[in-house]
Chain A
């Protein structure tokens, strides 16, 4: 932008071109007029630092939601997610199956 400011005078300053250019002067548009072309919200800037309290108020809705679909497993009584397998029961069963597999097919 500084370079543009320097080029406010016409590009070619020799007399020959000045005669031709006198009919149609061409200057590089100024910084102010360029800024006028841009819409105002592009250059918006916060006026003050957002306070701690206002920032916290904005974050109020972003907390983790509680899960209320927790039930007891009918088999072992451990807490589990509704409509899902019980982790304890499944791990018990899977260990049991692996044990039988190891017993029947010894490596």
Chain B
């Protein structure tokens, strides 16, 4: 029976398990973001948060305990300095676990364990991208130049994006909103550039293909003796080229339907839905657009 026992054994003996977890916590403090299996991540998070609490306390006894636990003494100044400062206002929850599919070798559920507010914070990055996505959707709908998300219009951000935004900005300093809006703006530019890039790639490929056709037909028009058979008998890929379209289930900026609905395509429900304004060549390069 395992009633009320909150610890995992992780198929190891006590000494092995403890040393492995100490190693994981040490690595987490060193790199601030590690990838491991989900059960190990959950155990490590628990221990790491206790050590960070010791760092926040900062007294002699906590120092001794933390020094006894960690396997690298170089991390003690980091724990009692930057980490204590970073998490001074935060009441617990100093780690975050992102589930990340399965490991290819043994299909183990994988997870990324990171310290909150670290320089490579995943939630921070993805939220900035989500905000950029929402701003772009607003831009496509209303054709207004930079919608200001700081003015907090109700329909601008998706509910979950808004919630994530509040979470990531809560314990950061005053410069954080500006930094995030800069990231969102950069990401918006990146998104706007993508159909342009696709268009250029397609134009170049078509040009290349037509040039190839021209050389082959020119070669075939010559008398048989003068022909270069390697060029003349070459078979280029057939025209017209298939246009670059998004992957199945991929939503373009502006999309309101879900992934399963998109992936099903014409085999799914055929209810007439109001077509949202998507980011594509039409919205960007059509003549009717007034920006």
Chain B residue numbers with a CB within 8 Å of A87 are 101
**Residues A90 and B133 in contact, CB atoms below 8 Å apart:** no
Given known pairs A72-B255, A72-B259, A84-B99, the reply for A79 and B122 (CB within 8 Å) is: no
Give the CA-CA distance A86 to B129 in the complex, in Å: 12
Most buried by B among A76, A77, A83: A77
Given known pairs A71-B259, A72-B255, the reply for A84 and B129 (CB within 8 Å) is: no
Which of B130, B132, B249 is within 8 Å of A78, CB to CB? B249
**Residues A70 and B263 in contact, CB atoms below 8 Å apart:** yes
**Residues B133 and A75 in contact, CB atoms below 8 Å apart:** yes
B149 at the interface (CB under 8 A from A): no
Chain A residue numbers with a CB within 8 Å of B250 are 77-79
Which of B129, B132, B160, B253 is within 8 Å of A89, CB to CB? B129
Give the CA-CA distance A81 to B260 in the complex, in Å: 11
Which of A74, A81, A90 is within 8 Å of B160, CB to CB? A74
Chain A residue numbers with a CB within 8 Å of B120 are 93, 97
Give the CA-CA distance A9 to B222 in the complex, in Å: 104
Among A57-101, those with CB < 8 Å from B are 68, 70-81, 83-87, 89-90, 93, 97
Which of A68, A77, A81 is within 8 Å of B101, CB to CB? A81
Which of B126, B248, B253, B258 is within 8 Å of A86, CB to CB? B126
Give the CA-CA distance A45 to B112 in the complex, in Å: 53
**Residues A70 and B126 in contact, CB atoms below 8 Å apart:** no
Given known pairs A79-B250, A93-B122, the reply for A85 and B133 (CB within 8 Å) is: no
Among B155-173, those with CB < 8 Å from A are 158, 160-161
Compute the total of residue contacts between A and B using a CB distance below 8 Å: 71
Given known pairs A83-B99, A84-B100, A85-B98, the reply for A74 and B260 (CB within 8 Å) is: no
B252 at the interface (CB under 8 A from A): yes
B147 at the interface (CB under 8 A from A): no
Give the CA-CA distance A72 to B112 in the complex, in Å: 20
Least CB distance from A97 to B in Å reads 6
**Residues A93 and B125 in contact, CB atoms below 8 Å apart:** yes
**Residues B259 and A74 in contact, CB atoms below 8 Å apart:** no
**Residues B101 and A75 in contact, CB atoms below 8 Å apart:** no
Given known pairs A72-B259, A97-B120, the reply for A77 and B253 (CB within 8 Å) is: yes
Give the CA-CA distance A81 to B125 in the complex, in Å: 18
**Residues A76 and B129 in contact, CB atoms below 8 Å apart:** yes
Chain B residue numbers with a CB within 8 Å of A74 are 126, 129-130, 133, 158, 160-161
CB closest chain-B residue, reference A83: B99
CB closest chain-B residue, reference A78: B250
Least CB distance from B189 to A in Å reads 14
Chain B residue numbers with a CB within 8 Å of A78 are 247, 249-251
In the A-B complex, the 3 residue pairs with the smallest Cβ-Cβ separation, listed nearest first, are A75-B129, A79-B249, A77-B251
Q: Could you give 17 example pairs across A and B, Cβ below 8 Å?
A: A68-B260, A71-B258, A72-B249, A74-B126, A74-B133, A74-B158, A74-B161, A75-B132, A77-B250, A78-B250, A84-B99, A84-B100, A85-B101, A89-B125, A89-B129, A90-B100, A93-B122
Given contacts A75-B129, A85-B122, 15 further A-B contacts (CB under 8 A): A70-B259, A72-B249, A72-B262, A74-B158, A75-B133, A78-B251, A79-B248, A79-B249, A79-B250, A84-B99, A85-B98, A85-B99, A85-B100, A85-B101, A93-B122
